[in-house]
Amino acid sequence: AYSDPHYYYELTVQYHAAPCNSFHNISFGKALLQILSKVVADLSCEVVLLKSECHHVKMQRGGLQSEMFFTFSVDCLETDTIRICQKKACAASYRLYKAKYLIERFFKQEVEMRRKSSEPLPEIYYIEGTLQMVWVDRCFPGYGINAVMHPSCPKCCVICSPGSYNPSNGIHCLQCDKSLRYGATMC
């Protein structure tokens, strides 16, 4: 049994931050998540905060500064309306690509607005050029990608054969001698 992989983007971004023990960083992270969620909401996509960390970074001429490192996932949801829709604009990959474009535009606009402003820098601000977005494939539990065993469909999610399993949304079937059935999700 085959299925197409499910895709999402993982994005990382850095902000100059308040001191690491400040509650401003936590509330800022929540606000940033809400803003990014609104940016992609019309596409039936969702943004999830995977990780946020504050680190002290030594700058060449600025001493120690605090920076927030955020990691988000951007995923398109399958709704009944989307399943019924046959247009290209309804395809998850198209909506995900458009979500990527809108998020990139949001961060570019943030830099442009800061450049045009004569105000001093706020306590928390985006560090230009730190946005990274990576396309990630994932399979449903019990499926995995194996180009060696299935060269006719190297990017397809294939049901895990006996002797293997996939417990999560990863892309690999893991070896397990105790797994005796197809599509195992646990060893």
DSSP 37-48: HHHHGGGTEEEE
User: Distance of CA 55 to CAs 16, 21, 64, 92, Å?
Assistant: 10, 10, 10, 35
Specify the fold of 7-137: Alpha-Beta Plaits (3.30.70)
Q: Indicate the pTM of the whole model.
A: 0.78
Residue 87 has a pLDDT of 65
Residues 29, 23: contact at Cβ < 8 Å?
no
Residue 1 has a pLDDT of 73
User: Distance of CA 149 to CAs 15, 157, 164, 167, 183, Å?
Assistant: 44, 12, 13, 20, 16
Ramachandran angles phi, psi of 130, nearest 5°: -95, -5
Residue 178 has a pLDDT of 85
CB atoms under 10 Å from CB of 169, counted, come to 15
Instruction: Please report how many Cα atoms fall inside a 13 Å half-sphere around the Cα of residue 4, on the Cβ side.
Output: 6
| Token output for 99 | 């979500």
Please state the length of the chain: 187
pLDDT digits (tens, 9 = 90+) for 144-163: 988 888 888 888 899 998 99
Which residues of the chain are modeled with pLDDT < 50?
84
| Token output for 50 | 């995977």
Residue 90 has a pLDDT of 74
- Bridge-partner residues for 2, per DSSP? 158
Residues 8, 50: contact at Cβ < 8 Å?
no
Residue 85 has a pLDDT of 58
Residue 98 has a pLDDT of 94
Q: How far apart are CA 115 and CA 119, in angstroms?
A: 10
Instruction: Please report how many Cα atoms fall inside a 13 Å half-sphere around the Cα of residue 71, on the Cβ side.
Output: 8
- Sign for the pseudo-dihedral over CA of 57, 63, 66, 67: negative
AA letter at 33: L
Residue ranges of the chain that CATH labels 3.30.70.360: 7-137
